[in-house]
Amino acid sequence: MSTLKPVLRFLVITLVAYLILIFPWPGVHDGYRAAFMTMVHGIYGHIGENGSVRCEAVAITATADVDLYLGKRMPEAGNRIGEAPVTINSRNLGYAPFVFFVSLILATPIPWSRKWRSVVWGLVLLSLFVVFRVGLLIAFWFGAPTEIQLYDTGAFQGLLAKSYEFLVISPGGTFVVTALIWAVVTWRAKDIQTILAKVLPESATPDGRYQS
């Protein structure tokens, strides 16, 4: 029970913090979506000589709030731009990972001085993760055999598909990667040693004493 209690406390604080932080989403949605779209345009607006990416805000649903238009210039068709929309959700792709990360930090039993440093480094890494997963989405669709295909990924398309499914579509990918980032920027070797000392069962020595 002594080991179970802090684990339950950590899980409860994480869950409650996540629910509290995700609750204001309708109020911050427009601002975050605008920043998200600006990021996409700034980093992925042009793909090579013939590829382009643009975003359009759409009516909010449970699964979408942005249409990502992937375009390809077609010289053989008089430089016509062919476009294909991919519906995405800025909350799932960007906002939810940040909220989950902050919830984990709030629940972690470390001094606040360390929590603030962890937040700074974690948000930097999470921002890179969000940029990467949007890039993965774009790479997958530009490599798929469609009218807007920019390049032939060959055997790598299968790997792209699995990576896309796990890191972009699956909620599990969001939580797993975010938890890994939290662990990297938060935990130190001595923290792990302390946890192991509490979790591992004690063993008796020949003189009757116990050691961990």
Highest mean pLDDT (candidates 81-85, 101-105, 170-174, 189-193): 101-105
pLDDT in tens, 68-95: 999 998 766 556 678 889 999 999 999 9
Higher per-residue confidence, 209 vs 46: 46
Q: What pairs with residue 56 in β-bridges?
A: 67
pLDDT of 134 strictly over 90: yes
> Quick one: which of 65, 135, 126 has its CA closest to 99?
126
CA 185/CA 114 separation, integer angstroms = 10
What is the helix (H) or strand (E) element at residue 89, kind and residue range? none
pTM of the model: 0.84
In the DSSP assignment, the letter for residue 91 is: I
CA 128/CA 123 separation, integer angstroms = 9
Q: Which amino acid is at 62?
A: A
In angstroms, what CA-CA distances link 76 with 52, 71, 73, 150, 202? Answer: 17, 15, 9, 14, 74
In the DSSP assignment, the letter for residue 84 is: E
Q: What are phi and psi of 134, to 5 degrees?
A: -65, -40
In the DSSP assignment, the letter for residue 75 is: G
